[in-house]
Structure 1
Amino acid sequence: MTRVAEKVPRPVSPAEHAVVSLRRALGDSRRTVFRLLGQLARRAWQAAKPVTDVVGPVGWLTLAASVAAFLISGLSGWAEFTYLATTLLAALLVAVVFIFGRATYAVDVALNPHRVVAGERALGQMTVANSGEKSLLPVRMELSVGTGVAEFVIPGLAPAVRHEELFAVPTHHRAVIVAGPAVSVRGDQLGLLRRTVRWTDPVELFVHPVTTRLQSSAAGLVRDLEGEITRKITNNDISFHALRAYVPGDALRNVHWRTSARTGQLMVRQFEETRRSQLTIVHTSETAHYASDEEFELGVSATASLALQVIRDGTRVSVVTEDRLLTTKTAVALLDDSCRIAPVTDLYPTLRDFARDATRRLPVPSVVMIVAGSLLELREFRAVQTLFGPETKTLAFRMELGSTPRLTSVSGLTVITLGQLTDLPALLRRVNG
């Protein structure tokens, strides 16, 4: 057998050890210097930010053109570029005069009303008052309204003088429209420099979806199940089923003492569980399930109409979408939250995955309503149906814009095809009938 000699490490000399220590010290020093330079750069940027924020896009372009003109003039000796650079810099210097000044405004933005139905008229009012002791020069105010910006020219105001501006808010589509903040703008006419001051916080306008009144017949789906006896046996309920022998851990309040005395063995009561009404609406916002934006809005209107009537009838309801659980404590809270329902893309592989994840922590429902578009296949509806027990009634609402309203039943699943919102009350009456 051949013996392999062990390799003995060579001892490190004091000189080599000193070199290694020096390299480490230099590396640590380099990292420390870079970290300090980074901190200084960030602080310098924060200090310069109030100044750089004043320069607008046109101002940066003018400054860059001026520097380029000076470089060309210095390299080529052309006096024309010197004049051009000087003129551009002079324009920037003159613009500085327009951004100075202190204002003492009191600004208020009010919407009337704060909640409307899509298509209804909504107005806003911006009130600007001089809260100081000196007169103020005219100023330009900008107010963001949704995706647009409204501009107002506020005249010069004497102390304690108010000025009002009215504006219309577009409410053609369901949405949460944010009005504000209102900012005053100081700057030159060319837009080289621009200084803004914020005066108000944003104000929300809720544009509710169009809904239809379902009367009380729609909630009959749930009300008819109130107190209905199921086949599930439980130890606590009101519908007596049978007696059984006592098992350690059973509540003594369920012991039937008369039978126990007669048989000589402790006997406890068993009950049949009664169903308590709970409605769950599974609303998919997946864009792949809808043929158009109008069809998507029809689905939101149908969901809001169903949930609204159930809340009015005092029945518990849960409404889930891919990205939120809607608030259903009051009708107003439900409608406000329905304004925030937005299309999503590929959040879940299938509708069943979404429904299983969204309803996992919700109370066991007695009725489940599934709302989707015309592009969702029937087997997807049936896959969701399998998530709930056989005692749960399942209805599928299929939005198909402009189609003939119809009602079909497939393997215990009721499929309601809705072509327009006004067809919903009649279809629900047929389901209840």
Structure 2
Amino acid sequence: MRNALAIARYLTREGWARVKPALEVVSAAGWLVLCCALVALTLAVVFGWAEFVFIGTTAAAALLMAAAFVFGRHRFEVSIDLTPRRVVAGERAMGRITVVNRAQKRSSPTRMELPVGSGVAEFMIPGLDPGAEHEELFAVPTQRRAVIDAGPALSVRGDQLGLLRRTLRWSEPVELFVHPLTRRLSPSAAGLVRDIEGEVTKKITNSDISFHALRPYEPGDDLRHVHWRTSARSGTLMVRQFEETRRSQLTIVHPADRRYYRDQDEYELAVSVLASLGSQVIRDGTQLSIVSEERALRTRTVTAMLDDSCRLDPVASRFDSPREFARAATLRLPPPSVVLIVTGSGMPLSDFRAIERLFGSDTQTLGFRAALDDPSRIMSVGGLAVVSLNTLDDLSGLARRVR
């Protein structure tokens, strides 16, 4: 019994795999016409109505005539080029689709469709001789930050009524990165520490470069740190203590819960602030981590960071509070010396303080708040500086002041 069921499932699966491509050729309009033909012919047979014979045969004839348009095969080589591949929101981006006939005979005129973002560009490719090529140019809308897919290129065969439609895929999608608007900041404008040997912290350690004090020798101490002159004068072995130093590490925390943003424009301003700060930190050579609700951004280069920022979208956070998100997102990151919080006007100022308390007293925390309804200014919340911005142009001046 089990073998019979397995064989039946296999035959059903294989049969459907063979029938499905043929059924996909019929469009929604084609299925409607087919149903009308069947219903009309059935009524004509049952009731003997001649009018329905005419309707049914006309619909069936339309389908038969449409079938003639879907047969045939091309051998194209299609390439899609975008110039440039990366633009800033609002800049012009152009694309080019090139079709080459690789068949041994002349091709017939073909309609080519190219999805571009949420739209579709249509081109009529004329008949091409063997080896001939045809180019078409198209513009890509870049009003907003996004990752726009151009492609895949599809050739379309079908009738003018759209009853039957057969498509063939000729290329892979090509991505266009529309980067957020950014502003160039002065070096270390956001309170960053540019150091060679490290940043001194208040943590005491037995081995480092920043001298702190002397203490009595204990078994296991490194003899290289014995201060012999003081030991000889006091008669007791004394060893040096040091203040721990560490390489500057900056972390940008971006709560992306949509409830913290008034609208999409405010969210875009927050992403532009994040991208501007991140770009300057990378140029300064400071170690950087950027975490958002759905992803951690690459920070090896400015281009990689801006590419990843194109994929940021407001989300419904799975965390109960921004503090929980910040804790989970930074759990495996190096301890930061500076934390920047970038969000919208809907996040309460108390949540900025809650995130600040996650990190030790050695960590400097700054808040950046996109607020289109409020004037740009610097606020202080329990000693924490929060920069409120209603335009990106104010970022450089306020970041310089907060430092």
Paired position in structure 1 for 2:293: 322
1:370 — aligned with what? 341
CA RMSD of aligned residues (A): 2.3
Report the 3-state secondary structure (helix = DSSP H, G, I; strand = E; otherwise coil) of the residue aligned with 2:97: strand
Superposition map of 1:4-403 within 5 A:
29=1, 31-218=2-189, 220-223=191-194, 227-241=198-212, 242-247=214-219, 256=226, 269-401=240-372, 403=374
CA distance in 2, matches of 1:353, 1:220: 25
Question: What secondary structure does 2:69 align onto?
Answer: helix
Percent identity, aligned pairs only? 55
Can you give the 5+ residue segments of structure 2 that lack an aligned partner in the other structure?
none
Task: Indicate the SS of the match to 2:189.
Answer: coil
CA shift for structure 1 position 330? 0.1
For residues 340 and 219 of structure 2, the distance between their equivalents in structure 1, rounded to whole angstroms, comes to 40
Confirm or deny: 8 A CA contact 2:190 2:400 kept in the other structure: no
Whole-Å Cα distance in 2 between the matches of residues 266 and 294 of structure 1? 66
Please state how far the C-alpha of 1:79 moved relative to its aligned partner.
2.8
Q: How far did residue 304 of structure 1 move?
A: 0.2
- 8 Å Cα contact 1:405/1:423 also seen in 2: yes
Comparing 175-184 with 226-235, which one deviates more in the overlay?
226-235
Do the aligned residues in 1 keep the contact of 2:190 with 2:399 (CA within 8 Å)? no
In structure 1, give the amino acid aligned to 2:98. Answer: T
**8 Å contact from structure 2 (residues 184, 396) kept in 1:** yes
**Further displaced range: 95-104 or 169-178:** 95-104
Residues 327, 333 of structure 1: 8 Å contact kept: yes
Structure 1 position 343, deviation (Å):
0.9
Q: Please give the secondary structure, in 2, of the residue aligned with 1:222.
A: coil
Q: CA deviation at 1:218?
A: 1.1
Contiguous gaps of at least 5 residues in structure 1: 1-28
**TM-score between the two structures when normalised by the length of structure 1:** 0.87
How far residue 193 of structure 1 moved from its aligned partner, in angstroms, is 1.1
Write the deviation string for residues 43-76 of structure 1: whole angstroms up to 9, x where unpaired. Answer: 1111111211211111111122222223222332
C-alpha offsets along residues 367-411 of structure 1, whole Å, 9 cap, x if unaligned? Answer: 111111111111111111110011211111111115322112222
1:96 and 1:247, CA in 2 relative to 1: closer, same or farther beyond 3 A?
farther
Moved more, 129-138 or 142-151: 129-138
Equivalents in 2 of 1:185, 1:137: separation in Å?
A: 12
Structure 1 residues 390 and 220: CA distance shift in structure 2, 3 A: closer
- Decide whether the 8 Å contact of 2:77 with 2:102 is kept in 1: yes
Which stretch of the first structure deviates more once superposed, 133-142 or 227-236?
227-236
| Bigger Rg, structure 1 or 2 | 1
SS in 2 for 1:55: coil
Task: Count how many residue pairs are aligned between Structure 1 and Structure 2.
Answer: 401
Q: Distance in 1 between matches of 2:298 and 2:223?
A: 38
- Report the Cα offset of residue 226 of structure 1: 6.8
